[in-house]
Structure 1
Amino acid sequence: MQPSSTGASAVNSPDALAQPSPDAPTSPVGSSASISAGSPAGETTGESADRRLRPGDRAFRRANLALFAAGVATFVLLYSTQGLLPILSADLDLTPGQASWTASAATLGLALALLPASALSDRYGRTTVMTASMVAASVLALALPLAPDLPTLVTLRVVQGAALAGLPATAMAYLAEEVHPRALASAMGLYVAGNSIGGMSGRLVSGWAAAVWGWRWGLAVSAGLALLAALAFRLLVPAARHFRPAPVDARALARTVSGHLRNPLLLRLYALGLLFMAVFGAVYTTVGYRLTAAPFGLPQSVAASIFVVYLVGTVSSASAGRLTGRLGRRGTLYVAIGVTTLGLLLSLGDSLVTALLGLVLITAGFFAGHATASSAVGRTATEGRAQASALYLIAYYLGNSLGGTIGADAYHSTGWEGAAAVGLGAMTLAAGVTLYATRRAVVARRTGLAAPAA
């Protein structure tokens, strides 16, 4: 969804973690070999690199537009139910925690399917897997409005999330292989813009349509928008010229993944991604309930519009890179944690102004923290960067599922204070992880060892 930028190309969405170096954690998931922006798979000579897509090429423009459309389709579908949770609760007589599963189930399915989807793309091709992913997810989207009850809806959302995994697991590999390194940043940036717009519009469109016609029509409108974007992708995407099929080496993949999971620094970065996303999931899953309830009592159409605040991430993601240059990675993480915490505290007031200002700060802090943690993954993993990135994505989407569900249950029990408490707890843990890294760095400097990155 997913989905950060610390350099020239900003990540505008929590749903897109894909950027070229230095934001390598957004590297696509692959088999045992990682793919870097400067050395696409199967193309290592200067002559081969010169044949890759450049600005001014018609195929370059088509590839950019195709991946933009793919990002829109993916994240429209992934977050289509989040903007209409209050209506779902009223129509199906659900608690916020129960309704939240319609959003959490999709990100959970996506997280579980990332590694298998990337392996399939190594074997069968990038455009094949991306096309199959979007078509399957869009077809499933057409079935969602017909779901008779919550268990059926949640089951379909899990399967839909798994189907969607083929795109975030593959899109960056396609661009890294087909686009010239000098043009890769702009291509990545446009794809991420599609992620951001899709993530926002999925919430807005479904919420607005549901306010007029009900949640079933809200989902139907989202499905239609995603189908149009998927069709645009298929018509525009140039054939892959540099892809080389590779057999799936399950043992090598398992060794690489196991090595990353034994790396304490990577584990801390994965934990930070999970914790920041838990805050985001808890807040954005429950904010619709809060704004439509007393003391605000906003109409559903107005409450759905609150997701425009999502665009704050465009600024904070770009600013995170500049801030890291001044304060260092840990310093930026402290700022992100502090801003998010301040936003959560401000949101506790009964004034609509302070509630909205709190939401802006929460969003800005989340994006800055996520951008900083995700960019550190690529610098930390010296081998198997693709798998390191995949594990970050898995932790990230699991954080969304956990935060959304736990936050919704807390909201149902104690109101907004409960959801905010979930976020504050996550930020307390994130501060503890960062403090631990700071202490290790101090000890390392005193003993003359290399300081950990985060």
Structure 2
Amino acid sequence: MTYMKRGTKEFKKVNFALFAGGFCTFAILWGTQPLLPEIAKEFQISPAASSLSQTSTTIALAISLLIAGTLSEIYGRKRVMTISLVASSMLAVLTGFMPNLDLLITCRILLGITLAGLPAVAMAYLGEEIDPKSLGMAIGLYISGNSFGGMAGRIITGILTDYFGWRTALTGIGVVSLAATFIFWSFLPQSTNFKVQTFKVKQFGIGLFSHFKTPGLIHLFLIGFLLSAGFVSLYNYIGFQLINPPYSLSQTLVGFIFIVYIVGTFSSTWMGMLADQYGKSRMLQLSIIILMFGVCITLNLNLWIKIFGIAIFTFGFFASHSIASSWVGRLAAQNKAQAASLYLFSYYFGGSIVGTASGTFYINFGWIGIVIMIAVLSTISLLISISLGAISSRKIKFLKVQ
């Protein structure tokens, strides 16, 4: 097999294409998150109920990820990703024209289904085409595109909402995503190490559940679930916190809060490189500790200190997600797309379920309820990562003896 190595022209093209694809996917996926207060106001519903416009998409995405990865094994990596991005961008344009909440949620569910193609396949593509010594950096760059897309999508929708309304904002994200899709299709090379497989239901089931027997993978699935649960909860309800007194920020300023995603763009790449150098276990644990430190800082009432805490939290989250994602590709000996899909299923399922359920904590206990919940989830993640590190160490020692 021939792999693309860091520094080569092909390596740069792959990372630029997947950066554009990640931007497109996550700008669409999280486009409604900063608009939840506006949606709640227009349809006269609670914060938790308004979050359904967001979590309906992530739930549909989580389930569809299990199928999208398998489709790419049959029809090819690039084809599935490209179709996914085109369909999602067109649906995103239509979302802004939905006249009521039911149709909005229906359209967002369809978006969740079509969006699954890129995240389910991208990590498998990288795992097959990129040199293992450069994989951590490549995954980090891809996730940096995700974080940049999430940031830009939120900022764009915030600005457009203040000037033209939230419906125009959602349509605008779709138009921008169509342009990003064209860049993705133009730059991404066809797979060279991919082998077409025939679909068989029995083999699909066996392959899917075999990943739960692989030492360490279930730990990563749980970590993805818990970290995403905390991350989505924080960003779902920080907008409600900031538009109310004593801050009383406009929708545009709330959207600009998401500029802290820049630190996630940096941390996912940088910490991914450090994980290649110093070990995934050590850097994953450090990243989770940084995340916990950041969320505690957000308890401070000073706006700038609160934003600083959000930035530290975001740094730790994207670093953790980057390391865990690349670790899945290394642990899965076969059916890498399925393994990546299972990790992302856990990741988005956690964000979907807890992201809405945590609204109860916010309604009853305010911001401190959200912070305590995230701190507990992060502590559990840290303990699981320590256990994962022990499993990894034993495996390395065994291989050395062999």
Provide TM-score, normalisation by structure 1. 0.77
Q: What SS does the aligned partner of 1:169 have?
A: helix
Verify: 1:290 aligned to 2:241, yes or no. yes
Partner of 2:340: 389
Partner of 1:345: 296
172 and 116 in structure 1: CA distance in 2 versus 1, 3 angstrom threshold? same
The answer to which structure has the higher helix fraction is: 2
Q: What SS does the aligned partner of 1:167 have?
A: helix
2-structure distance, mates of 1:112, 1:318: 28
Partner of 1:426: 377
Partner of 2:175: 224
Percent identical across equivalent pairs?
A: 36
1-structure distance, mates of 2:291, 2:179: 36
1-structure distance, mates of 2:335, 2:266: 30
207 and 56 in structure 1: CA distance in 2 versus 1, 3 angstrom threshold? same
Q: What SS does the aligned partner of 2:325 have?
A: helix
Partner of 1:276: 227
Partner of 2:27: 76
Preserved CA contact (<8 Å) 1:100 1:285: yes
249 and 222 in structure 1: CA distance in 2 versus 1, 3 angstrom threshold? same
2-structure distance, mates of 1:188, 1:243: 18
Q: How does 1:346-365 map to 2 (within 5 A)?
A: 346-365=297-316
Preserved CA contact (<8 Å) 1:317 1:367: yes
Partner of 1:9: none
Q: What SS does the aligned partner of 2:117 have?
A: coil
Larger mean Cα displacement after TM superposition, 303-312 or 171-180: 171-180
Partner of 1:267: 218
The one-letter code of the counterpart of 2:166 is: W
Shift of 1:315: 3.4
Verify: 1:155 aligned to 2:106, yes or no. yes
Q: How does 1:403-442 map to 2 (within 5 A)?
A: 403-434=354-385
Correspondence for 1:170 among 121, 136, 159: 121
The one-letter code of the counterpart of 1:341 is: M
Larger mean Cα displacement after TM superposition, 72-81 or 177-186: 177-186
1:335-363 deviation line (CA, Å, top 9, x unaligned): 33332222222211211122112112211
RMSD: 3.5
Partner of 2:80: 129
1-structure distance, mates of 2:55, 2:278: 34
2-structure distance, mates of 1:132, 1:392: 22
Verify: 1:401 aligned to 2:347, yes or no. no
2-structure distance, mates of 1:373, 1:145: 35
378 and 183 in structure 1: CA distance in 2 versus 1, 3 angstrom threshold? closer
1:108-152 deviation line (CA, Å, top 9, x unaligned): 211111121122222223333223212221222122122233232
Shift of 1:224: 1.2
Larger mean Cα displacement after TM superposition, 177-186 or 276-285: 177-186
**Unpaired runs of 5+ in structure 2?**
none
Partner of 1:142: 93
Alignment coverage as a number of residue pairs: 399
Provide TM-score, normalisation by structure 2. 0.86
Preserved CA contact (<8 Å) 1:286 1:411: yes
**Unpaired runs of 5+ in structure 1?**
1-38, 40-48
The one-letter code of the counterpart of 1:152 is: L
1:279-335 deviation line (CA, Å, top 9, x unaligned): 111111111111111111111111110111011123333443566579755444443
Shift of 1:65: 4.8
Preserved CA contact (<8 Å) 2:92 2:171: yes
